[in-house]
Structure 1
């Protein structure tokens, strides 16, 4: 095919035109490309990318295209554009022949490396083909990649790349530093030190280097070097490093036993995240201990709470030693106990247990009885050098801890400690304690056990005296007399002034009870001559008068009564009455009348007022002044319906009217007597007099009708009545108790309203009471009380109230005691009634009334110390219930002065409590220590005081003591005192939460009960 010439020419021009156009386009692209490269070189990646995007290379696989693809991807990566990573991957795939393909991954990796984005740097470095690296960029890649691996936590691979450049002139020094640091982190301190030294020689001067080397030398035990390097770095370090360097330097001095030098550095340590741990506190505390700064040592050691490891055991042991140095023995006891309960260091455990045992003996123990603590040591270390010493303390601890019951058991049942002298003393002291607790039967058993070991002469004398006292209380007067006389004849007795000075008084009273009045008078007289003026001397004069009176020696009796009356400090109404009454026996009725009338004026509130009225009336009757007699009988009948003289006054008045032939008045009096007191002797006499009156009136049929309605009158059975009663009474007088009980019961079955039913009911009740059959005695006492006033009423009321109190039937007790208070003739029974009304009303929550009765008791002149202590204690308890703390505080203060035993423990507890409330925490703890030493057997107050001590320590910033006590309350007393243990747990959680803020070793557990409440 032939072409036309014109066509060929046209094609030629067309081709020339295209070529020119392409040249122009290429030139423009090249300019844009160069502009983009300039911007790229100046790190203006966004502008560069704009320029690169303007170029559309004609050759998709040419040089320009490959360069554009690379720089576009590189710019996008550097701009962190989405898809930048994909663009770079596309470049590597699409341009396998490009020389930039070899450095693409390395370039991106270097970019991320330079910007400290080590995670992304690693991703790109991992893709680098290391075989294509040249000499220039190979070391740079190895170092950068090593450091990237180091920062992204690939230490082993990192070290292998650092090793490749450790001899590089440019990177070698830094590589050695990081190789050293990784060895340091791996606890390979020898290699680390070598690398750090080489790095230093090669010119690396990083501020951490000396810190690391100091720490490594410390860990290698090269403490002098650690100190030197630490001090070298200290001033150049930041706050965190400075804290750690102080710790390293301080611990290095500590390990070199240079404790004074260690202290300032240990103090400057700031802990991990602002918290110390138990080891930190231990080291500073021990350094203070060695420097003999014991208060500072305590301050550090006691921050270690709830510890249970070798460090804690050491800390608690040295804490205890520090407390001993500053005379804080209670705190030392707790710390020794804590250390003795850990097994990490056997030597410390043994010595701590020994000190714990010795301190328990010295100051008491709230956790266990002291003998038990000592026994535990002997059981754990039976062959120790201290075993004999602890054995001796064990014997004596029975006495100092007042654990007498356990002591007696141990001494009787353990041959290893069968010390007769200790047994004699312990049984005596136990007997005294039982005696004071009114447990007389058990007390006498112990007195007799003490007397079985006749070693200590003073103890023999004392036990003999108190054994006689128990016999006296049991009405065994003959045995009591033997004991008193035996005591008086003992050589050592005269040295025991507290009891010897009253021995004649006791002997006199025993003769008096045996109705040997002449001997009683001699003894009372002897006693009164020896003793100074006091209540006992006053009583001796009164009883001397009574003894003479009983013997019929009325003038000496009156003389003795006058001596009592002359002692103006004492209420002498009884002595005055007896003196007045005695004039009648020496035919001085005019003087008797004068004295009785004087008595009525002087003692209008005396309990003997009705006695005086009755005997004044009788005296007027005996001198035939019947009108005056009747006027005094009338006063008594009107004003004293509960008087034992009431029935007698009706009887006497009736007889006067009968003798004066005033029959209707006589019948009125006598029938009233029979109606109101049917079981009295006076009633039976009245029936006979009524019979005579009706005979005189010629009205026997009226009498017969009247007498038929009286169920206690059966003339035909009167002989059988008397015979049956007398049979029982004879057994009673012969002390044949069982036979007497059987006889009186038989009598009352046959004659429930018989002539002697009142006596039978009373004697039967007394016998049953004394035999311990108190419940059965109640009905018989009630029969006596319901029969009206008699010579037995007062005692029956007393015994009934005692039974109701024992049964805790406070309502019935109160009713009975109020009647006793009103009707009693004997002062001691009035005091008994008021004292027990106070107690019964307290139990019934009548607190104001309780205080009123307490005040009555405290207002009495001759009340004994125990009664006063009771009055104060019930005032205090009631005041607490009424939230009157000021009154309670005052009352407990008085109890503390007067009481012993349980009441003393209670008073001391409240003393500690009030001091705590007043912020006197040290003083409060002193009182708790007294309770611990002397009254720990009263667990209620001992444990409550123990909890109070924990609260005191918390307030005194002694977290260790507070938490340890609380833990032991929870551990040892949860069953006995669950409410207190729960409160202790809450307080313990509170303390631990506080301390955990500064001590990382303390783990705070959630309290489920608290969470439950909050929900």
Structure 2
């Protein structure tokens, strides 16, 4: 077997050389012995036979050792040592003795090494003894080397390291030094003594030996481990030149590119490496890193492709972090069903990965239109406190979905403490908007106000605006329910934070309305005036113009109701003159009528008529009032026929109008005032017969009675006057009826019947002075009728109650009938 063959089998490199050196020594010894004449021939023959026998055992042992048959080799070397020891004692001469001792030492060495490979417990001691006993022997120099290699082969790296460090490199050949350095470095590596290992690999990788590529590989790996990525790449590329390492280098090289964040370099290198034949070791892990590189490059389509290959190779049994990345890549690519499938298992974890998965699971459900499922995922993500920014975003998403589903109480509950939990959130404006919308849409204004008031100065402008609007809305609710006293304080709260000028004007208008309902017109006037000012301060938007108009309308009415018609008129005029005023506005024609009324009161009848006509021509809702007022106004202008026609038009167009009975009354009144008592009486009769519950009946009866009196139908007149006094004794018409009854009874010569009517009236109206005049006139009538017996008590009564009355000197005068 060759020297290199024995070295690879564990035999020292110097063994064969030592064997060849022994041969000339034996030849020389034989020559010297042949020259001596003292020994007999027989002794020489016996020595030669013994030598040949011993040498046979030695050579046999070497062959067996080379064939790794260490048990048989050990027996052969043992026999050699037994024979050799006896023969060494028979030999003479220093050269012969030295040669035999050296050969015996070789046998001892091989015997000990054979025992080492046979795992004999005494083998290590024999080798160490050999090194001590034969310090100058060539084998002693490599005894520690062989012992170290043995332990190295046994993977006992601690013992191997100990003995490799005892080897003297100068006593080793170049190949042995390379082997010693590599194996000592590898032993350090296995013992996690990486710094010592790296020094040896770095030195050994420079040698032109069979360990160059292995040393380059481990030097590259340790450089990678130390973060020296450039050095690692350089060493690993050398290692990859060797077939033994070509398939294992790509896994580490890919890791290096990944650690460097050089994703483009990783993709370029690894995709090429994956095409090798045969494929590199850990090809699936390389695929995973390529996928992750694409993931980091946000090329989620490519990332998903490599991730799927990896997952398929592992039959779906993959790490949760990879499962998350697959789901996230699917989400980014819009593949929401697969994103949901990948993320939902990871989302159950109670760590930061689970929180991320839950959040993106919620987003995926949302994109898939599964809002209820999204809510559960966002809720899980927001409950975790591991990643505060993620909790914040999940809380916001949760509230937004609840809002979209109409679950407004849940929106408010979710965001109630948001400002406290995330005081400097960039999402605060969105949160405030959601809270604002939630509060305003929930109509639970009382709870909203309590919450907003609890925030104090932390509300911010947006929520102050919400507070203003909610306080106003709550006030409006109370106003509409007729709870005016409770509404006013809320309007004051709304006005305290005037973020919205239009809303501020609206609150002032409502205050004016409340004061108007309570007939507190001075306060109403102040509120309406402030409303107009508030709106104008904001530049008067369309919404604000609405409240300017309402303020004018309300202010005009407040002045109107306090009979300040000259102040009411400009407000109504301004309302109608504003470009925003449109006939379709609910108050437009009502304002027109009130302006007409102010002209009517001011006796500007033509201007009033023009406005009444405008309402009539527009066929507005209140046209019946316009008809009525127009008829009255025309009557005042003496245009009796036009007035009558106008009132007739009212009755025809709207017979059930609330002004219908007044129109009938006015028609009769027009005839009455014109002295047409027949038509007048007929008109009053229509009212009495057709409107039995009318408030105008007392006046209708009284005036019909006067018409009858003027038509000389005194009995009918008396009946009407008595009707007023009996059925409506406290009405304003009763006093006039009493006067008229006296005149009609006088005309009929039945003055004595008046006493009963006067007594009845007096009982119903004890403070009225009308009876004094009537009693005086009655006594006078009796006196003039020469009914002295009846006149005397009446005169006495009148005299006692009205001493200042003067009687006429003679009864010759005629008392005319009153109209």
When normalised by structure 1's length, the TM-score is 0.38
When normalised by structure 2's length, the TM-score is 0.47
Name which one, 1 or 2, has greater alpha-carbon Rg. Answer: 2
Higher relative contact order (CA 8 A, sep 6+): 1
